[in-house]
Amino acid sequence: MTLTSTDFHFPGQRSVYHGKVRDVYAIGNDLLVMVATDRISAFDVVLPKGIPGKGQVLNQIAAKFLDATADLVPNWKLATPDPMVTVGRRCKGFPIEMIIRGYLTGSAWREYKNGCRLLCGVPLPDGMRENERFPEPIITPTTKAAEGHDENISRDEIIAQRLVDERDYAVVEQYTRALFARGTEIAASKGLILVDTKYEFGLCDGQVTLMDEIHTPDSSRYFYAEGYAERFAAGEPQRQLSKEFVRQWLIDHGFMGQPGQQVPEMTDAYCQSVADRYIELYEHITGEAFQPAPDADLASRIERAVGAWLASR
């Protein structure tokens, strides 16, 4: 069973925002209930079928990493009353996403091989190869579009357009690098390479605060450390754990989110294969066996758990 849409009515609920993957319920003036659904998106398009267990995987990985980085960066999380739900403080989000890349791959590689040598204001050297490590991680922000595609943007453009105050942006950059360094260390301890990822920040009581998910397969790309050097030297694709394999499957079937393109058929077998990859990443990055939560009636289970947590405050 999958949860691909929600229509909750929690005590004190004031509004709801349905994102590509998460549904966010505002409770009173200061709380958010974020439900990680089983929806999956690629190229900024929500695909037509859900992935079993995906919401639980995303929510539990994000919760673990929020806890594991709380000493570095203040974050929004207060509790996880259900395996698919995080409750946290309501922040005023910045309209950008902070993408940090340790390796030249994915969309950055696609742009690079087409001649791009200036990515979000960051100069890129000639002669790099796909999946090559940067001398130092680079930050390549994007806008956070309410609809349609996010767009690349530079630090100078962010400040000039007053999307983020210059002083706050300096803190956001500092936090981005600190989080990526911690995530890299944790991944390395599990035999993985954290290749690139994204973070979202906002202001909570005037303080720059980390929001949303971190270091999940939806927001991050991981390579297996074992065999990386050999595969890179031979020019072979890397073994990876990320959503990139979904994007590549779509590309291979003629879909990149462009007008007129049709999403290929997602069979039950294909959806289960995607679920297996998400679970594989969960178990690698956490070092724990994945324990699926009861899924007979996901919506009722979530409503009871969130209601009980709110009543206990």
Q: Is residue 206 part of a domain?
A: yes
Query: Per-residue pLDDT for 149 more than 70?
Result: no
Q: Are residues 99 and 86 in the same domain?
A: no
Which CATH number covers residue 228? 3.30.470.20
Note whether 82 and 110 are same-domain residues: no
Backbone angles phi, psi at 190, to 5 degrees: -105, 10
Confidence tier at 148 by pLDDT (50, 70, 90):
low
CA distances to 10, 79, 169, 177, 235 from 61, in Å? 25, 14, 26, 20, 31
Q: Is residue 1 part of a domain?
A: no
Query: What's residue 78's pLDDT?
Result: 98
Q: Over range 44-66, report the average pLDDT.
A: 95
Mean pLDDT of the chain, nearest integer: 94
Residues of the chain with pLDDT > 70, as a percent, come to 98
Confidence category of residue 245, pLDDT binned at 50, 70, 90? confident
User: What six digits make up the tokens of 241?
Assistant: 């754990």
Give the tens place of pLDDT for each residue, 150-177.
899 999 999 999 999 999 999 999 999 9
Q: Are residues 48 and 160 part of one domain?
A: no
* Other C-beta atoms lying within 10 Å of the C-beta of residue 298: 23
- Residue 287 lies inside a defined structural domain of this protein: no
Give yes or no: residues 113 and 225 share one domain. yes
Domain assignment present for residue 288? The answer is: no
Same domain, 193 and 305: no
124 lies in the same domain as 236: yes
pLDDT above 90 coverage of the chain, percent: 89
Which domain covers residue 184, as residue numbers?
A: 93-245
Is there a contact between 118 and 110 (Cβ–Cβ < 8 Å)? no
97 and 53, same structural domain? no
Read off the pTM. 0.90
pLDDT tens string 115-140: 999 999 999 999 999 999 999 999 99
CB 219 within 8 A of CB 197: yes
Do residue 168 and residue 187 come from a single domain?
yes
CATH number at residue 31: 3.30.200.20
Helix (H, G, I), strand (E, B) or coil at 78: strand
What are the DSSP E strand ranges found in 187-236? 192-204, 207-211, 220-224
Q: Residue 36 — very low, low, confident or very high, per pLDDT cuts 50/70/90?
A: very high
User: How many domains, the chain?
Assistant: 2
Residue 153 lies in a domain: yes
Residue 274 placed within a domain: yes
What pLDDT, on the 0 to 100 scale, is given for residue 286? 92
Q: Which of 42-46, 231-235, 236-240 has the highest mean pLDDT?
A: 231-235
Task: Give yes or no: residues 211 and 139 share one domain.
Answer: yes
Is there a domain that residue 129 lies in?
yes
Tell whether 79 and 110 lie within a shared domain: no
- Inside any domain, residue 258: no
Name the one residue in this structure whose structure tokens are 């294969």: 273
Q: Are residues 273 and 240 in the same domain?
A: no
Q: Are residues 149 and 19 in the same domain?
A: no
Give pLDDT tens digits for 271-281. Answer: 999 999 889 88
